[in-house]
Amino acid sequence: MSKLNFGLAICSGLVFGAVLSAQVVIAKQSLPDGFVDARKVIPRLAVDLRYLTEDNFMGQPVDGYVEPRCILTQEAAGALKGVQAELAEFDMGLKVFDAYRPQQAVNHFVRWAKDPDAEGRKQQYYPQVEKRNLFREGYIATKSGHSRGSTIDLTIVSFPKDGAPIELDMGTRFDFFGPESWTDHRDLTTQQRANRLLLRAVMEKHGFRPYAKEWWHFTLNNEPYPNQYFNFPVQ
């Protein structure tokens, strides 16, 4: 092979590799019609996807979570943008723990719940609830509203002049399974009750409804896919 042909072959390979890499990136970033990356449309949205890490009730990364992207339906993201804008007037904002959740992640929850040897992080997340009762008490289900794309788990943060956003004290951590996390729980400090009330009030104002057993859990009232459960990965 001549030096010219060899050089052309190398260039062609580089170009092909670059095109292939670009195609992989595009495929990775693409979302189904009707879904968006919420951080691209909501300014200063903090995202801490716990199921991407070991810091969750199972103590392990969950199937279907590949990248820290807050994926929502366009309608849910639009409503959440209104919440963020209202909180921004008081130097506060939202921090998301989970948004769209693929069905494969829900299936992972179910497998874990049925495994008697997998205790996970019981003391941190469900110290007073027997694992065998997590289904019966409504903390785990075989179908989740998250998989419809318009349900979100979140809290409020304040934005100090210096440093990272600070979570408001809600009385329990995210995904704490027990009465302490119920929306009508009264054994809280005045400030904790006020913080929960603020979160609920601003979310309801912008079209979300709460879930009685989880102060962090909200679903868009007029969700676009009320009967459809999706399974594309979070990436």
First to last CA, the chain: 43
- Identify residue 221 by its one-letter amino acid code: N
Catalytic residue among 54, 75, 167, 214: 214
Q: 31: how many CB neighbours lie within 10 A of its CB? A: 16
103-125 average pLDDT score: 95
- Torsion on CA atoms 120, 122, 126, 131, rounded to nearest 10: 70
Contact 214, 153 (CB under 8 A): yes
Question: From residue 25, how far is each of 19, 22, 30, 155 by CA, in Å?
Answer: 10, 5, 9, 31
Q: How far apart are CA 64 and CA 81, in angstroms?
A: 25
Residue 204 known to be catalytic: no
Alpha helices in 38-117, H assignment, sequence order: 74-88, 103-114
Domain boundaries, the chain: 1-30, 34-220
122-129 average pLDDT score: 96
Name the pTM for this structure. Answer: 0.86
Q: 142: how many CB neighbours lie within 10 A of its CB? A: 11
Q: What pLDDT, in 10s, does the model give residues 153-195?
A: 999 999 998 888 999 999 999 999 999 999 999 999 999 999 9
**Which one has a higher pLDDT value, 207 or 23?**
207
Q: How far apart are CA 180 and CA 109, in angstroms?
A: 22
Write down the residue that tokens 């469900």 correspond to. Answer: 126
Q: How far apart are CA 130 and CA 128, in angstroms?
A: 7
Q: Which of 49-58, 102-111, 158-167 has the lowest mean pLDDT?
A: 158-167
The CATH code belonging to domain 34-220 is: 3.30.1380.10
Nearest Cα to Cα of residue 87 among 36, 44, 151, 40: 44
Given a cut of 90, whether residue 220 has pLDDT beyond it is yes
Q: Chain-centre distance of CA 204, in angstroms?
A: 19
